[in-house]
Amino acid sequence: MKKSHNSTPNTTDISHCQIGQFLDGRVYSLVDEAHRRFGTQDLVVVLDLGSNTPTLNAVPRHRATRDKSLSDHIRQKLSRPASYFKKSPWAAAQSFWFVVLDKARAEFCAVNAIPAGAFAALT
């Protein structure tokens, strides 16, 4: 992973997000759980690969923007909700920031997705 210096963060389309390989059912389940627990969809999910046991956590975005363990660059990018970076106004029912940390590097992107099973409720 390399640190992104783009003025606009990557958004998913997942092909544009180099960390898309880490997005799986565990991440989306955590987002659903965090949404219920915190009462907001404005979330940041952090996958920390820098320790012996990788950790996956979700926090409200306003908390993450004050987290001094994240670089100033990342905290600045998190100043807007992930939903701000939707490529299509109808495309995503679920938007969140996804941050992957390694020992000395970080990668992040705005994830805009339709949760699994969302269409089942429509049929």
Q: Model pTM?
A: 0.76
C-alpha span between 46 and 73 (Å, rounded): 15
Number of H helices, E strands in the chain: 3, 5
Please check whether residue 79 lies inside any domain of the structure.
Answer: yes
Q: Indicate the number of domains in the chain.
A: 1
- Taking the alpha carbons at both ends of the chain, their separation in whole angstroms is 40
Range of the domain at 92: 10-122
Question: Looking at the domain assignment, is residue 63 inside a domain?
Answer: yes
- pLDDT values of the chain reduced to their tens digit, one per residue, 123 residues: 333 333 333 333 334 457 878 888 899 899 999 999 999 989 999 999 888 899 999 999 999 999 998 889 899 999 999 988 766 665 556 789 999 988 878 888 888 876 655 444 443
Enter the tokens of residue 65.
């923007």
The rounded distance, in Å, linking the Cα atoms of 63 and 61 is: 5
